[in-house]
């Protein structure tokens, strides 16, 4: 097939950009306009098998896993090529994710590209082996060594909400650690992945070490990769329900599984916090239209201050502009597709049915004829047992829950099947930190801090996942540990 002027509609398998079997393609839709912007390769199981075979061969029969200097050289060039083409990646995130220009210049594209070199810097100083001294057992004295080795072939399965960031957060440390990778992108955001295949080819990555698949079916290739014995490790970001399914798939071959799953994070305003400044945190529900697993979608406030909080929320939510994809100031874009919009609207109706009071929003915006938008929505008088307080909505919906005292706030914050993120505000940093220590989550922001960084491990407690992404812990997810004993 001919290649269009924008986007990349081919797969990347064994070092080559190739059409899907029989030239199969599917439509790529801009969620801000509901228009078809192009097509993407619709990979078959035969294509997936070819990608997996290439990754297996590259790991087993080349020096990729052991040649640290080669990895540094070609991966640094890979990052350079991404930077040289950053405008193309920005455009891809705007067109297929629905990111505003503001968000593309930030966390959707420029931010992830700026962090892409961190695993390579970490690789340069990484200690691949260490001695742990001598020890005698059963009459044999041995000198012991501990070696770190690449885990093998990685199936990286990524979602549509922050595709560039999550693709790189998985693939860069995996490749730097010496693994080979098959990246399976979400159906809704193919180009933000296939462009990486194009850049990998330009950078000269050896054949087979990195492969990219896109497909219209959200499950077929994922099921194939997570059950095939040639895959050593699965790294998945997505819903908790799919994460549980992947764990079951991986069990038969006892694969290592890293899961970054859902969240229902709480932002807690303690009774001594300044309300006006603390409540700026609620703007996060507009970031990417609330389609972020770590976004704080429960707001816990002192009962004595509820009336004041409601007035501030009305003012702040009125300031949350949206609807201009080219805006360099708007955070909020559309939901990813019509199905997701319908899902979010159904949760809003559920909130009403269960007795929560709708303070702001609650429907489709009247001023926008096109795009999968939902109004920024705030519920008050929410009980933490309600569906909108317990389930991940993945839309611009905030549940406001009033608490009696600090102990009650902590109980509510922890009363969730999830444990991904959270935030706390207090006039006393010591008090806020003490509260943060007791919240069962993988990350916490204190007094407006932001945990995100390439050197900061990210992941969750409970049903929010298994393992950590980014930072030293994220790098080591892609390693095995071998102990060697030498008789002395």
DSSP-derived 3-state class of residue 9 = coil
CA distance 273 to 105: 32
Strand 377-380 relative to strand 357-360, pairing: antiparallel
Task: Give φ, ψ of 72 to 5 degrees.
Answer: -60, -45
**DSSP assignment of 28-97:** EEETTTTEEEEEEE---HHHHHHHHHHHHHHHHHSSTTT-HHHHHHHHHHHHHHHHHTHHHHHHHIIIII
In the chain, the N- to C-terminal Cα span, in Å, equals 64
Q: Which of 260, 330, 406, 476 is catalytic?
A: 260
Q: Which of 102, 171, 179, 293 is catalytic?
A: 293
| CA of residue 441 relative to chain centroid, distance | 16
Q: Under a CB-based contact definition with an 8 Å cutoff, are residues 71 and 124 in contact?
A: no
Q: Under a CB-based contact definition with an 8 Å cutoff, are residues 206 and 58 in contact?
A: yes
CA distance 127 to 148: 8
Annotation says 293 is catalytic: yes
Integer CA distances (angstroms), 133 to 137, 143, 148, 483, in order:
13, 6, 17, 12
Q: Which residues are catalytic?
A: 260, 293
């Amino acid at each position: 097939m001919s290649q269009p002027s924008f986007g990349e509609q081919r797969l990347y398998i064994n070092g080559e950009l190739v059409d899907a079997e029989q030239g199969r393609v599917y439509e790529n839709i801009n969620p801000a306009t509901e228009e078809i912007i192009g097509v993407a390769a619709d990979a078959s199981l035969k294509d997936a098998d070819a990608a997996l075979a290439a990754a297996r061969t590259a790991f087993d029969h080349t020096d990729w896993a052991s040649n640290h200097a080669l990895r540094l050289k070609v991966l640094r060039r890979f990052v350079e090529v991404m930077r040289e083409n950053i405008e193309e990646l920005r455009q891809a995130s705007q067109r297929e994710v629905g990111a505003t220009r503001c968000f593309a210049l930030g966390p959707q594209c420029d931010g992830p590209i700026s962090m892409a070199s961190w695993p390579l810097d970490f690789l340069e100083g990484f200690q691949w082996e260490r001695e742990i001294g001598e020890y005698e057992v059963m009459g044999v004295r041995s000198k012991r060594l501990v070696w770190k080795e690449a885990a093998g072939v990685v199936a990286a399965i990524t979602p549509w909400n922050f595709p560039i960031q999550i693709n790189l957060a998985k693939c860069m440390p995996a490749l730097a650690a010496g693994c080979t990778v098959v990246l399976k992108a979400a159906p809704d955001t193919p180009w933000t992945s296939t462009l990486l295949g194009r850049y990998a080819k330009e950078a000269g990555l050896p054949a087979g070490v990195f492969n990219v698949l896109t497909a219209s079916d959200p499950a077929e290739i994922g099921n194939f990769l997570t059950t095939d014995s040639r895959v050593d490790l699965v790294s998945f970001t997505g819903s908790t329900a799919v994460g549980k399914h992947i764990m079951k798939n991986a069990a038969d071959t006892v694969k290592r599984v890293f899961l970054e799953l859902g969240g229902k994070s709480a932002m807690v305003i303690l009774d001594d916090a300044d309300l006006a400044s603390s409540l700026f945190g609620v703007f996060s529900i507009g970031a990417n239209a609330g389609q972020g697993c770590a976004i704080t979608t429960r707001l816990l406030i002192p009962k004595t201050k509820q009336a004041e909080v409601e007035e501030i929320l009305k003012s702040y939510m009125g300031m949350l502009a949206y609807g201009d994809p080219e805006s360099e100031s708007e955070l909020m874009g559309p939901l990813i597709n019509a199905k997701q919009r319908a899902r979010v609207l159904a949760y809003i109706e559920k909130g009403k049915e269960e007795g929560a009071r709708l303070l702001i929003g609650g429907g489709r915006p009247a001023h926008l004829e096109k795009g999968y938008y939902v109004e920024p929505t705030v519920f008050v008088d929410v009980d933490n047992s309600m569906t909108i307080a317990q389930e991940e909505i993945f839309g611009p919906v905030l549940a406001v829950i009033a608490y009696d005292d600090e102990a009650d706030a902590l109980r509510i914050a922890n009363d969730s099947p999830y444990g991904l993120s959270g935030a706390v505000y207090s006039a006393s940093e010591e008090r806020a930190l003490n509260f943060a220590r007791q919240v069962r989550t993988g990350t916490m922001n204190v007094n407006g801090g932001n945990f995100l960084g390439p050197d900061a491990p990210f992941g969750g407690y409970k049903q929010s996942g298994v393992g950590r992404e980014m930072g030293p812990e994220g790098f080591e997810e892609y390693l095995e540990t071998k102990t060697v004993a030498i008789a002395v």
